[in-house]
């Protein structure tokens, strides 16, 4: 099972096909909940800007100031009217990504 999950990140088919603008994922690589979100992104064929809060203290400060908590994963979503929503919890982030970026069935 794990082999199949890890192989998704090596497959040519799993390379992101779409870059999602106005979305930023705050994360750190060893967080299992962040990993869940990255798996969903890979399955949907999407990519976006990511900010590793362990690698750069500035990103952690941005997250804390903007979202009110330094918990990861957190998806920063900028709307067309420039308002910003901070979405926490991997299950909620995955549901949002699937609802908004799943490819329509052909």
pLDDT tens, residue by residue, 20-47: 999 999 999 999 999 999 999 999 999 9
User: Bridge-partner residues for 27, per DSSP?
Assistant: 52
* Domain parsing of the chain, residue ranges: 15-101
DSSP string, 5-64: HHHHTT-GGGS--EEEEEEEEEE-TT-HHHHHHHHHHHHHTEEEEEEETTT-HHHHHHHH
Average pLDDT, the chain: 88
Distance CA 61, CA 36 (A): 23
93: exposed, middle or buried (Cβ count in 10 Å: 0-12, 13-18, 19+): buried
Kindly compute the dihedral angle of the four CA atoms of residues 17, 20, 26, 29, in this order, to the nearest 10 degrees: 0
Place of tokens 């990519």: 47
Query: Domain 15-101: what homologous superfamily?
Result: Glutaredoxin (3.40.30.10)
Distance of CA 65 to the CA centre of its chain: 19
Banded pLDDT at 106 (limits 50, 70, 90): low
- Please report the pLDDT score of residue 101 as a whole number: 94
């Amino acid at each position: 099972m794990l082999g199949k999950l890890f192989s998704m990140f090596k497959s040519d088919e799993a390379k992101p096909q779409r870059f999602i603008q106005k979305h930023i994922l705050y994360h750190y690589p060893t967080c299992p909940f962040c990993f869940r979100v990255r798996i969903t992104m890979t399955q949907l064929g999407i990519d976006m800007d990511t900010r590793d809060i362990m690698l750069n203290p500035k990103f952690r400060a941005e997250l804390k100031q903007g979202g009110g908590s330094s918990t990861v994963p957190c998806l920063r979503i900028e709307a067309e009217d420039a308002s910003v929503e901070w979405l926490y919890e991997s299950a909620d982030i995955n549901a949002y990504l699937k609802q908004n970026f799943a490819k329509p069935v052909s």
